[in-house]
């Protein structure tokens, strides 16, 4: 009898506890949905308050979460808020701080935020402070079924800054700072990163999922142990990882810059510079590098293979890219299939064991429309390796390197076509007409001088590439030129010292678009952009009083293409922000690459207001465009999600009780399209 009474008492106690616990479940059928709340948290708050105003704020974020309903917003004031319980929302919610420099969420002994229940979570304007790099805990952990939007935040001092577990975890990140973490980001899910900064982390990004990175800076990451020689990379793409990096920079790594250890990687418009070790090391998988600059790194600019006994090294395709001034070979190849097209390999320095321009110990090299010149060491050095190297070259030049142009083992197989400029010792700088290394059109090239034998020497027109390294059209003459540069197109140029030449090279006669200099003075602070409209991305902000030289204009003359004299950079400024002097009317019309196209349609499909849910599904669809990097959807003015290239549909879980305005914009590496929109009345 006593045991029966004890069990009965426990049952009554459990029922009482369940009745007193705040409910986070969906209302039963027939019950009205719970209205979204705005809850407040402050350092002067009290968890006995109702938290519905600043005057009656909670003290802890944990307590505010326990009171929240689906689609609630929790406004967190300035201060450092210690995790007093699991920060694990069980439904859609927004955590809104007062600014990343004002609001800090921290846990000195474990995870800070764990997103474990399927939901749409937004976190904005906060710093997440972890428990240190020695404790394997997370700043923010994202699990299966969670869609996270992270904006204007900082994550620091964690073993894992941001970690996405499993392939069903999704995160969209913009203006995020990750610093002082062991792994800044570890990704197994689907992740997009825009306009963010990763610095001072042991490893910047480790990926085995899907990641799209746009306009992001990786600086001073990686690690090198001088006692053991072990090094870690800024970026590591593992087996099955799909990684795209568009624009931005990977620089000043204490170890390697980027390691491709499987999967597929695309680097587009990226600068990889001043890293201590190898800039880009492809071990296996697929790598494409386009419109990028790999410069001034301590070891190889690009290394392919050479990692233990990998059977299938895979393929590497490099085009419209400069690989210059690296501390060993510009390109080291130990296996795989490597294509260099419209590539300049220049100024790279051989070590005592070898190197120079291109150094091979196996693999297949396809050298097309490329220039290998002014390297310290050989232009191409190829040894026997485990398997003899194979070199196929067309319309390329290897010349003006400091020692024997091509030092090839007798077992190396070569096919040069009809080119007479491969590995020829007789040319000089004067007779070849190859100018010093020069910055043009966001890359580094050796311009051809008038009278160069490389001009119109590319053979049959049908075999010519359609563009040169700068993206300018080929041919400019009756057929294309040999090498990475097509003579006869104009661009403002910045002369850079070329190894082996005088420190004060002769002035290059430039083909310019203006017969007389035009100078502009900024009459207000302004943004200098990638193209002639506010739809284009900002390259740099300019202060009032700064000067620039005019390079060109758009057809309406309401935007000027200028060369910023102080930073040697070309960009577009609105005519209303500057005053000009000189022959403005003689500036030629210039064009920029287009921003993303606007979709022809954007529609919302049929929606059903279910009575037993706090949200309802809104299917959205649009027509695909052909020059996009991705899509952004906004709901009522707030970014909802960033989607990958070729996406044409998205299903939103929308809150009830409010009118909805959806807006869609398309972005690429130049800027964003006009927004298209569709509106829906509130679902009761």
CA atoms of 283 and 305, how far apart (whole Å): 5
**Residue pLDDT, tens place only, 460-477:** 888 888 899 999 999 998
Q: pLDDT at residue 217 above 80?
A: yes
CA atoms of 419 and 482, how far apart (whole Å): 8
Query: Given this model, what pLDDT does residue 1 score?
Result: 41
CA atoms of 218 and 117, how far apart (whole Å): 31
pLDDT category of residue 17 using cuts at 50, 70 and 90: very low
Q: pLDDT at residue 583 above 80?
A: no
Q: pLDDT at residue 648 above 80?
A: yes
Q: What's the CA dihedral at 345, 349, 351, 354 to 10 degrees?
A: 40
Residue 288's DSSP bridge partners are 266, 317
Query: Given this model, what pLDDT does residue 610 score?
Result: 66
Q: pLDDT at residue 515 above 60?
A: no
Q: pLDDT at residue 32 above 70?
A: no
Helix extents (H) in 401-489: 429-432
- CA-nearest of 80, 114, 84 to 100 is 80
Please state, in angstroms and as integers, the Cα–Cα distance from residue 389 to each residue in 141, 414, 498, following that order. 46, 9, 29
CA 410 to centroid of chain Cα atoms: 43
Residue length of the chain: 684
Query: Given this model, what pLDDT does residue 31 score?
Result: 58
CA atoms of 361 and 380, how far apart (whole Å): 11
CA atoms of 454 and 435, how far apart (whole Å): 12
Q: What percent of the chain has pLDDT over 70?
A: 89
Query: Given this model, what pLDDT does residue 464 score?
Result: 87
Q: pLDDT at residue 494 above 70?
A: no
CA atoms of 200 and 435, how far apart (whole Å): 39
Q: pLDDT at residue 129 above 80?
A: yes
CATH of domain 31-201: 2.160.20.10
User: What's the rounded mean pLDDT across residues 320-338?
Assistant: 94
Q: What sign for the dihedral angle of Cα 468, 474, 475, 479?
A: positive
Q: pLDDT at residue 269 above 90?
A: yes
| DSSP letters for 557-590 | SSEEEEEETTTTEEEEEEGGGEEEES-GGGSPB-
For the chain, the average pLDDT equals 86
Superfamily of domain 519-586: SH3 Domains (2.30.30.40)
Residue 32 DSSP code: P
For 362, the token pair is 């196996």
511, 490 contact by CB (below 8 A): yes
Query: Given this model, what pLDDT does residue 369 score?
Result: 95
Q: What sign for the dihedral angle of Cα 585, 589, 594, 597?
A: positive
Range in 153-157, 456-460, 510-514, 677-681 the model is least confident about:
510-514
Return all residues near 580 (Cβ < 8 A) that are at least 6 apart: 518, 519, 520, 550, 560
540-573 core/surface letters (b: 16 or more CB in 10 A; e: else): eebeeebebbbbbbbeeeebbbbbbeeeebbbbb
User: What's the rounded mean pLDDT across residues 98-107?
Assistant: 95
For 621, the token pair is 């669809």
Beta-sheet strands, E only, within 274-383: 280-290, 293-295, 302-304, 315-324, 331-333, 337-346, 356-360, 364-368, 371-373, 378-382
518 half-sphere exposure, CB direction, 13 A CA radius:
22
476-505 core/surface letters (b: 16 or more CB in 10 A; e: else): beebbbbbbbbbbebbbbebbebbeeeeee
Query: Given this model, what pLDDT does residue 151 score?
Result: 95
For 622, the token pair is 């649009």
Which comes out higher in pLDDT, residue 257 or 657?
A: 257
Query: Given this model, what pLDDT does residue 23 score?
Result: 40
The CB density around residue 513, as the number of other CB atoms within 10 Å, is 18
- Whether omega before 286 lies within 30 degrees of 0, making that bond cis, reads no
- CA-nearest of 539, 568, 538, 574 to 553 is 574
pLDDT category of residue 657 using cuts at 50, 70 and 90: confident
3-state secondary structure (DSSP) of residue 483? coil
Phi, psi (degrees; rounded to nearest 5) at 175: 50, 50
pLDDT category of residue 289 using cuts at 50, 70 and 90: very high
CA atoms of 485 and 478, how far apart (whole Å): 15
Beta-sheet strands, E only, within 157-208: 160-164, 170-179, 183-187, 190-194, 197-199, 203-207
Query: Given this model, what pLDDT does residue 509 score?
Result: 36
User: What's the rounded mean pLDDT across residues 491-506?
Assistant: 49
Range in 70-84, 290-304, 306-320, 509-523 the model is least confident about:
509-523
Return all residues near 369 (Cβ < 8 A) that are at least 6 apart: 341, 342, 394, 395, 396, 458, 465, 468, 480, 482, 483, 484
Query: Given this model, what pLDDT does residue 571 score?
Result: 87
The CB density around residue 35, as the number of other CB atoms within 10 Å, is 13
Residue whose tokens read 């399927």? 118
Return all residues near 18 (Cβ < 8 A) that are at least 6 apart: none
Which comes out higher in pLDDT, residue 438 or 515?
A: 438
User: What's the rounded mean pLDDT across residues 556-565?
Assistant: 85
526, 542 contact by CB (below 8 A): yes
Residue 637 CB-density burial (10 A; 0-12 exposed, 13-18 middle, 19+ buried):
exposed
**Residue pLDDT, tens place only, 450-459:** 999 999 999 8
Q: Domain segments of the chain: what residues?
A: 31-201, 519-586, 602-680
Query: Given this model, what pLDDT does residue 156 score?
Result: 96
- CA-nearest of 306, 303, 365 to 337 is 365
**Residue pLDDT, tens place only, 347-393:** 999 876 777 899 998 899 999 999 999 999 999 998 877 778 899 99
Which comes out higher in pLDDT, residue 492 or 536?
A: 536
CA atoms of 604 and 659, how far apart (whole Å): 14
Q: pLDDT at residue 171 above 60?
A: yes
Query: Given this model, what pLDDT does residue 284 score?
Result: 94
CA atoms of 274 and 278, how far apart (whole Å): 10
pLDDT category of residue 170 using cuts at 50, 70 and 90: very high
CA angle, 151 as apex, 145 and 155 as ends, to 5°? 85
CA atoms of 158 and 176, how far apart (whole Å): 15
Which comes out higher in pLDDT, residue 19 or 268?
A: 268
Query: Given this model, what pLDDT does residue 3 score?
Result: 41
Range in 248-262, 291-305, 550-564 the model is least confident about:
550-564
Q: Are strands 170-179 and 190-194 parallel, antiparallel or unpaired?
A: parallel
pLDDT category of residue 594 using cuts at 50, 70 and 90: confident
User: What's the rounded mean pLDDT across residues 105-133?
Assistant: 93
Query: Given this model, what pLDDT does residue 499 score?
Result: 55
Q: pLDDT at residue 434 above 60?
A: yes
Query: Given this model, what pLDDT does residue 586 score?
Result: 74
Residue whose tokens read 């007409």? 433
CA atoms of 283 and 143, how far apart (whole Å): 30
Fold of 602-680: Immunoglobulin-like (2.60.40)
The CB density around residue 527, as the number of other CB atoms within 10 Å, is 17
546, 564 contact by CB (below 8 A): yes
């Amino acid at each position: 009898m006593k045991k029966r009474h004890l069990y009965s008492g426990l049952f009554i106690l459990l029922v009482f506890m369940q009745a007193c616990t705040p409910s986070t479940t969906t209302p039963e059928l027939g019950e009205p949905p719970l209205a979204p709340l705005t809850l407040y948290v402050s350092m002067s708050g009290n968890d006995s308050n109702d938290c519905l105003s600043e005057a009656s704020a909670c003290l802890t974020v944990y307590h505010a979460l326990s009171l929240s309903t689906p689609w609630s917003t929790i406004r967190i004031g300035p201060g450092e808020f210690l995790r007093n319980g699991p920060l694990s929302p069980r439904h859609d919610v927004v955590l809104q701080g007062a600014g990343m420099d004002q609001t800090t969420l921290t846990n000195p002994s474990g995870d800070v935020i764990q997103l474990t229940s399927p939901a749409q979570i937004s976190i904005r304007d906060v710093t997440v402070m972890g428990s240190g790099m020695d404790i394997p805990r997370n700043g923010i952990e994202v699990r299966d079924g969670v869609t996270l939007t992270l904006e204007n935040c900082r994550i620091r001092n964690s073993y894992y800054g941001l970690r996405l577990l499993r392939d069903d975890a999704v995160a969209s990140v913009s203006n995020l700072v990750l610093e002082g973490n062991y792994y800044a980001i570890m990704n197994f899910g689907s992740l997009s990163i825009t306009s963010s900064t990763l610095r001072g982390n042991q490893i910047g990004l480790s990926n085995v999922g899907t990641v799209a990175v746009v306009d992001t800076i990786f600086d001073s990451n990686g690690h090198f142990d001088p006692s053991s020689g072990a090094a870690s990379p800024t970026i590591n793409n593992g087996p099955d990882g799909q990684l795209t990096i568009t624009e931005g920079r990977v620089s000043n790594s204490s170890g390697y810059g980027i390691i491709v250890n499987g999967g597929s990687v695309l680097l587009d418009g990226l600068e990889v510079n001043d890293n201590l070790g190898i800039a880009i090391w492809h071990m296996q998988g697929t790598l494409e590098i386009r419109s990028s600059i790999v410069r001034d790194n301590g070891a190889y600019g690009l290394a392919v293979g050479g990692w233990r006994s990998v059977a299938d090294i895979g393929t590497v395709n490099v085009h419209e890219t400069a690989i210059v001034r690296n501390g060993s070979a510009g390109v080291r190849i130990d296996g795989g299939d490597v294509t260099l097209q419209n590539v300049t390999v220049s100024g790279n320095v051989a070590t005592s064991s070898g190197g120079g321009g291109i150094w091979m110990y196996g693999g297949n090299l396809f050298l097309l429309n490329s220039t290998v010149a002014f390297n310290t060491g050989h232009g191409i050095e190829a040894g026997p390796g485990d398997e003899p190297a194979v070199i196929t070259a067309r319309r390329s030049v290897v010349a003006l390197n400091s020692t024997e142009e091509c030092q090839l083992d007798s077992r190396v197989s070569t096919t040069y076509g009809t080119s007479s400029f491969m590995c020829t010792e007789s040319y000089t700088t004067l007779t070849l007409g190859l100018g010093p290394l020069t910055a043009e059109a966001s890359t580094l090239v050796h311009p051809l001088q008038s009278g160069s034998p490389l001009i119109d020497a590319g053979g049959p027109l049908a075999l010519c590439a359609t563009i040169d390294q700068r993206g300018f059209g080929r041919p400019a003459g009756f057929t294309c030129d040999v090498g990475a540069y097509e003579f006869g197109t104009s661009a403002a140029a910045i002369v850079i010292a070329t190894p082996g030449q005088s420190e004060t090279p002769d002035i290059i006669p430039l083909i310019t678009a203006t017969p007389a200099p035009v100078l502009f003075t900024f009459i207000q602070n302004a943004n200098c952009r990638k193209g002639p409209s506010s739809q284009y991305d900002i390259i740099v902000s300019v202060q009032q009083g700064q000067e620039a030289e005019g390079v060109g204009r758009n057809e309406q003359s309401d935007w000027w293409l200028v060369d910023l004299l102080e930073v040697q950079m070309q960009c577009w400024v609105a005519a209303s922000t500057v005053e000009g002097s000189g022959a403005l009317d003689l500036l030629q019309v210039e064009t920029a690459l287009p921003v993303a196209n606007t979709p022809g349609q954007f529609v919302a499909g049929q929606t059903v207001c279910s009575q037993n849910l706090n949200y309802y599904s809104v299917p959205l669809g649009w027509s695909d465009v052909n020059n996009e990097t991705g899509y952004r959807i906004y709901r009522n003015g707030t970014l909802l999600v960033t989607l990958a290239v070729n996406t044409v549909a998205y299903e939103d879980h929308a809150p009830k009780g409010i009118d909805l305005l959806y807006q869609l914009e398309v972005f690429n590496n130049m800027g964003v399209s006009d927004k298209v929109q569709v509106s829906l009345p509130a679902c009761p």
